[in-house]
Structure 1
C-alpha cells in the first residue's frame, strides 16, 4: 500500500518537479533576466493587491453573512442562508461575463476585486456557517452575563473559535485568486495567470511562461506558509456536544432595515446581475448558437466523469493508508497530494505539456492528459470526503464479517463499500463540478477539436459574441447547482431552525 501510494504521490508531484526543473534548466542569469523586469513587477503588484484586498473582503462578507443568518433575527434569514451560498453555482468567468456585458466599462483592479469577491465569498461563508452552528451558545450567554456587549461577544468569543474556518476559507480564496484566468481576462486585468496563458500562446512552452510560472508557484507556497503560521497550534475541540438549547438570536433593532438592504444588494450583485445579463443574451441567441450545445455537453460529461472516477480511484489508496495505517510516512504521502494541487491549473497544465512532450509525445493533447490534470488539480476534493467517510466506518464490522469466514476482500466489498458510498458520491460530484468548470488546463491540454461547455463558452465570449456564449453559461450554472446544494447541506448539517 505504501509503495502504491508513493507512486501515485510521485505522479501528483510532477508540477512541483516541473517548477524546480525549469528554474535549474534556465540558470540564474536567464531566470533573473526574465523575472526582474518591469512587466513582472507590474504583474506582481496587480496579483498581490488582488489578494490583499480580495481575501479580507471575502472574509468580511462570508463571516458577516454566516453570523447574520445563524445568530441574529434577520428577516427571511432562511432565504438569505441559501442565497449567500448560491454564487458558487456561477463560475467566476461566467460572473465576469455577466458583469462585463452589463457594464462594458468595468475593468482593472477594482473590477477584478468586485467580480472575484462576489464569486468567492461563499468559500468563506460555508465553513464559517458550519463552525458557528457547531459553537456552544452557553459561552456567548456567559460572556453577556459578565457584561459584554454584542460586538464584544462576537469579537472576543465567537471570532477566536472561527479561526480555523476563516483561515481555511481564506486560503482557498487566495489560491483561487492566484489561479483564476477567465474572469480577469474578461476584465482586461493582468495577473500572473493571464500573463502565463498569453506567454504560452505566443511562445508555446517557452522560458517566459516557465519563469512566470515559477514566480506564481512561489506566491502559492508563500500563501500556504502564511496560513500555516496564522493557524498556530491552538486547540479548538471540546468534550461533549455543548449546551443542547438553541442560541438566543440577537434582535437587530434599528439596524434591521439597513442590514436587509445590504444583504439584498449583495445577493443582487452576486446572483441577479450576472444571471440577468446571461438571460438577456440568451433570448438573443438563435438556433445556430445552440448547435454545438449537445456535443459540448457530451464531451464535458465524458471528461468530467472520467476525471471524477480517476480521482476517486487515486484518492482511495491515500485515504485508506491515512485512516487504516496512520504513521509519519502516511501523513507525508498525503501531504504530497495537497501540495501538488495547491498550484494553479495553468502550472499543472504546463508541467504535463513538458512531461508528455519529453517522455510520451503520443499522450500530448489527448484525453489522458486532460484527465490527469483534473486528478492532480482536484485530488483534495475526492480525498477529503473519502478520508472523512472511511474514518467513520468501524473496522470492527469487517472483523466481525471475517470471523464468519468471509474473505478480507469480500468483507470490505460487502461491509465497508456500502457505508463509504455516500462519501464516494460526494467526492466524485465535487471533482466532476470542478472539471466541468475548469478552463485553463482544458484549453491547453484538450485534443484538437475538443469543445467542452467551458471552452465553448470561452471561445464565444472572448470574441464578444455574447448571444452565442449565453446558452453555455446557462448550462455551466445548471451543472454546478447539484454540487453547490451538496456543499450547502454538508455545511449546515440540517435545515435551519
Structure 2
C-alpha cells in the first residue's frame, strides 16, 4: 500500500476504504455519461484511420513493414523524449522563480514566460532559420567582427529539438505554476524543522507534490511533438507527421498515410501508459483538518541577478527573436511599398472561435477530471486513452476524419461552426483535462463529503465548493486551449465555414507563396490577440497574498523573517 504525503498508515487505510465505498456506490450519471460520450466522439478519427488502412490491403502492410518505418519511429520518439525533458528542465526553475521568490518584476516575467505558446511552430521555425541559420541574421552580425562566413546547420534534429522546446515548454510551465501557488507551506516548514536544508526539502517534499502537474504538462508536450507538422517540415526532419502529410497531399495515398497514422496512435498509447505508471497512486491533498496558509516569498539575495538573467535570456530567445524577424518583414513591406492588407474580420473570427473552444473544453473536461481522480478504475482507464490519441494525431487526420464523417452522417453540420468546434474539442480537450486533474488532486475529498453531509446535492457541492478551488486549473486549461486553437491550421483550413478566414489561414496563405512580408502583419496580430487574454489571465491568477507581498518587495525589506534565504 502506497502512503501519500503527510499520511500515516491508518490514514492511508481510511482513504483506501473510502475509495472502496465510492466503487460500491458507483460513478454518478452526471460523470460517466458525459465522459463516455466524449470518449466515443474522440474515437472518430481512429475509426476513420482503421477503415482507410483496411481499404489499402496488402499495399498498406508493405508500407508499414519497410525499414524506413522503423527509422520514423526512432526519430519521432527520440524527438519527443528530448523536447519533453528539456522543456521540463526549463519550466521548473521558471515556475519557481515567478511564483515563490522575490524576483523583481516576477508578475511580468510570469506573463512573458507563458506567451511563447501563442506562436505557431511554423512561424517559430522560420524565424529561427532566419535568425540562426547558416546565412541568418546572427551570421551577418558575426562576419564583420570575427570573420565567420557560415554558421552550423540548424536543420534536422537539432533545429527541431530547439524550436519545439522553446515553444512547448509553457505546457509544463503553466501546469506547474497553477500548482505551486496552491501548495501548503506547512509541509516544507515541518521538513525544515526536522533539520532538512532547502535542497533536501525541495526534492523530498515539494517536488513530489509537483509530480501530477509535471507529468500532465510533460504528456501534453510529448503528444504535441508527435502531432506537430510545421516545425519538422520547415526544418527538414523526418518525423511521422511530415511523412503522413506527404502521403496525403503529394502521393495521394491515403491508405498508406492512414497506416502510418495508426502507428502514431500506437506510440500515443505507449506514452499515455508510461505517464499513468509514473503518476502512481499517491494523493497530494492535505490529510488533516485545517486551512493552508499562503506561501511566503523566498529571498533570492545575491541570486537575483542569476534569476533575472535566466528569465531575460529565455524571453529573448522565445519572444525577442520571432518578433524581431516579424518586425523586419514589416519594415521590408513598408520600404518596398507592399500592401499590408489585414482582414480585421479574420482577427475577430480567430478570437471568438478560440474563446468558444476554450469554454467548451473546460466544461467538457470537468466530468472527465472527476472520473480520473475520484473514481479510478477500468472506466477511467478506458476513457482516458482515446482522448490522448485524438490529441496526438496530426490535425489533418482529425480534419479529414470529420470531413468524411460529416459528409455522410452529419450533413446539416458539414462546414458549419459547430463542426469546427467539435474538431477543436477532439484535438485539445486533453489540455483542459490535464490541468483540471492536476488541480483536483490538490483538493481533499473531505470538503465534498462535508458539503454532502449538510444535505447539499453533489452538483451543488461541486459548483459551490470544489469549482472555486479549481480556479488555477480552470484558468491554465482554458488558456492552453485558447492559445493552441488560435494557431491551429489544418483543422481550420479543412473544416471552417466558407468565407470564415482566420489569422492562421491568412498567415499560411501568404507563407506558402513565400510572401513573407505579406504574412508579417497577420502573424503579429495573431500573436497580440493570443497574448492579450494570456497576459490578463496570468496576471490576475496571482493570489491576493502574493500580490501584497509582491508590492511589498518593490519597497525596502521590512525585516520580516522569510521561509528561507538563498
Question: Partners in 2 of 1:97 and 1:45 — Cα distance?
Answer: 25
Aligned match of 1:192: 240
- Structure 2 distance, partners of 1:72, 1:312, is 30
Consecutive unaligned residues in structure 1, runs of 5 or more: 403-410
Q: Contact (CA 8 Å) 2:213, 2:435: kept in 1 or not?
A: no
Q: Distance in 2 between matches of 1:215 and 1:458?
A: 28
Please point out which of 209, 220, 231 is paired with 1:183: 231
Q: Report the CA distance between 1:165 and its aligned residue.
A: 1.1
Task: Give the corresponding residue for 1:472.
Answer: 522
TM-superposed CA distance for 1:355, in Å, is 2.9
Counterpart of 2:344 in structure 1 is: 294
Shift of 1:142: 3.8
1:108 is matched with 156
CA shift in 2, pair 1:210/1:62, >3 Å = same
User: Among residues 2, 6, 10, which one is paired with 2:40 in the alignment?
Assistant: 10
CA deviation string 1:143-172 (max 9, x = no partner): 344443333222222212211111111111
* Cα distance in structure 2, aligned partners of 1:130 and 1:428: 12
Tell me the distance in 2 between the aligned counterparts of 1:484 and 1:458: 23
1:128 to 176, 182, 185: 176
* Residue in structure 1 matched with residue 90 of structure 2 by the alignment: 61
Deviates more, 1:135-144 or 1:11-20: 135-144
**Residues 278 and 240 (structure 1 numbering): CA distance in 2 closer, same or farther, change over 3 Å?**
farther
TM-score normalized by structure 1?
0.80
Tell me how far apart the structure 1 counterparts of residues 541 and 386 of structure 2 sit (CA, whole Å).
24
Partner secondary structure for residue 474 of structure 1 = helix
Helix, strand or coil: the match of 2:332?
coil
CA contact (8 A) 1:83 1:267 kept: yes
1:249 is paired with a residue of what secondary structure?
coil
Determine the structure 2 residue equivalent to 1:267. Answer: 315
Which has the larger displacement, 341-350 or 442-451? 442-451
Using structure 2 for the length normalisation, give the TM-score.
0.71
| Equivalent in 249, 253, 260 of residue 298 of structure 2 | 249
Consecutive unaligned residues in structure 2, runs of 5 or more: 1-28, 135-153, 550-566
Structure 1 partner of 2:405: 355
* 1:132-143 aligned within 5 A: 132-143=180-191
Deviation by residue 1:440-489 (Cα, 9 ceiling, x = unmatched): 22234446765421122122224332211111111111221244235525
Answer whether contact 1:55 1:174 (CA < 8 A) is retained.
yes
Distance 1:250 1:229 in 2: 36
Show the 5 A alignment for 1:35-434: 35-105=64-134, 106-204=154-252, 206-238=254-286, 239-240=288-289, 244=293, 246-247=295-296, 249-251=298-300, 253=302, 255-286=303-334, 289-300=339-350, 303-304=353-354, 307=357, 315=364, 335=384, 338-339=387-388, 341-344=390-393, 345-356=395-406, 359=409, 369-380=419-430, 431-434=481-484
Aligned-residue CA RMSD (Å): 4.2
TM-fit CA distance, 1:95: 2.4
Distance 1:35 1:464, change over 3 A: same
Write the distance in 2 (CA, Å) between the matches of 1:134 and 1:65: 16
Q: Deviations over 1:29-68 (max 9, x none)?
A: 4443212223323322321121111101111111111223
**Deviation (angstroms), 1:366:** 5.8
Larger CA deviation: 104-113 vs 380-389: 380-389
Q: Deviations over 1:70-97 (max 9, x none)?
A: 4444444343333322323333333223
Counterpart residue number, 1:405:
none
Q: Is the 8 A contact 2:46 2:262 kept in 1?
A: no
1:481 aligns with 2:511: no
